Amino acid sequence: MTVTNENDIEYAPNLFLDQYQPTAPPIKGLIINLHGGGWFQGDKAKEADVADWLATQGYLVIVPNYRLAPASHFPAPLEDMDLLYQWLQQSFPNLPKAAIGGSAGGNLAVELGLKYDLPAISLSGILDIDQWLQAHEQVVATDDHVAASATASQSIDQDGTDDPFYKWFILNYLSEQQAHAATPYHHVRSSSGPLLLINSLTEFVPVSGVIQLSQRYIQLGIPVETILLPGHRHAKGYWADVKNSILAFLARYLTVKS
């Protein structure tokens, strides 16, 4: 299936998105595809490969930019997600919606799912914030592993655990006093959307967030699926291994209502 795309559509003042649309109907639904980068780097253009592939599967894909640290801190990206969702509801009111993202984008995808009752997919999403910071008080935050802005997403943070850098970019985004408010676990509601949570077992982002959030979903009887992969690949680093599972999840939960 061929895809058409339109870039730099303004969804709110000074906030832009790219749109990828399959040329052959019917459109199965709308996917919000959110880039990672620790809330301090990254760009919608880095999701062009995933967005184009999802569009070839029959989905309209929206890839937004959002405000980044250090110019903007928590909760600015979440506020941008609210503006984005309002724009999408006005522009595509009849399409069912889902969210997907990796790393910081996984955090934002999950928050959209929790707040707006959407199916959401997280690839190495940053989910455990408050408890992780409490358990790692002695870790000294450093920015030694900041990748160059041109680094491909598949090549970023593929070397396993790095607690000093992980702590650095969390605290670059929010204060420890905001950690509770920034942790998705505390935002789960009985109507929150189904989740697919994916993580490597020994990677950069701790698997504790997947365990914590999935247990809360189980307590409330909300569908949640997890994929825990061996090794230390992060987010798009394991995309090829999970893309079929992502399609199956979307087929289960993202359906056009007749």
Phi-psi region of 123 (alpha: psi -120 to 50; beta: other; left: phi over 0): beta
Supply the range of the domain harboring residue 166. 3-253
Residue 229 lies in a domain: yes
Number of domains the chain is built from: 1
CATH at 138: 3.40.50.1820
Task: Output the pLDDT for position 258.
Answer: 40
Residue 106 lies in a domain: yes
* Nearest residue to 66 (alpha-carbon basis) of 102, 41, 90: 41
Say yes or no to pLDDT of 147 above 90.
no
Say yes or no to pLDDT of 24 above 90.
no
| Alpha carbon distance 154, 29 (integer Å) | 26
Residue 249 lies in a domain: yes
Task: Output the pLDDT for position 177.
Answer: 97
Say yes or no to pLDDT of 160 above 80.
no
Q: Which helix (H) or strand (E) holds 178?
A: none
Mean pLDDT score, 137-154: 69
- What confidence category does residue 149 fall into, taking pLDDT thresholds of 50, 70 and 90? low
| Alpha carbon distance 211, 198 (integer Å) | 11
Task: Output the pLDDT for position 53.
Answer: 97
Residue 188 lies in a domain: yes
Q: What percent of the chain has pLDDT over 90?
A: 86
Mean pLDDT of the chain: 93
Mean pLDDT score, 22-37: 94
Q: What percent of the chain has pLDDT over 70?
A: 92
Written as one string, the DSSP assignment of 155-176 is GSS-SS--HHHHHHHHHHH--G
Task: Output the pLDDT for position 114.
Answer: 98
Task: Output the pLDDT for position 67.
Answer: 98
Tokens of 201: 């077992």
Least confidently predicted of 17-26, 149-158, 185-194: 149-158
Task: Output the pLDDT for position 161.
Answer: 78
How confident is the model over 103-135, as pLDDT tens digits?
A: 999 999 999 999 999 999 999 999 999 999 999
* Nearest residue to 112 (alpha-carbon basis) of 34, 6, 165: 34
Mean pLDDT score, 219-233: 96
Residue 258 lies in a domain: no
DSSP β-bridge partners for residue 146: none
Residue 189 lies in a domain: yes
Residue 200 lies in a domain: yes
Task: Output the pLDDT for position 2.
Answer: 86
* Nearest residue to 155 (alpha-carbon basis) of 239, 234, 62: 234
Task: Output the pLDDT for position 158.
Answer: 58
- What confidence category does residue 143 fall into, taking pLDDT thresholds of 50, 70 and 90? confident
Residue 80 lies in a domain: yes
* Nearest residue to 69 (alpha-carbon basis) of 106, 39, 36: 39
How confident is the model over 62-109, as pLDDT tens digits?
A: 999 999 999 999 999 999 999 999 999 999 999 999 999 999 999 999
Task: Output the pLDDT for position 154.
Answer: 53
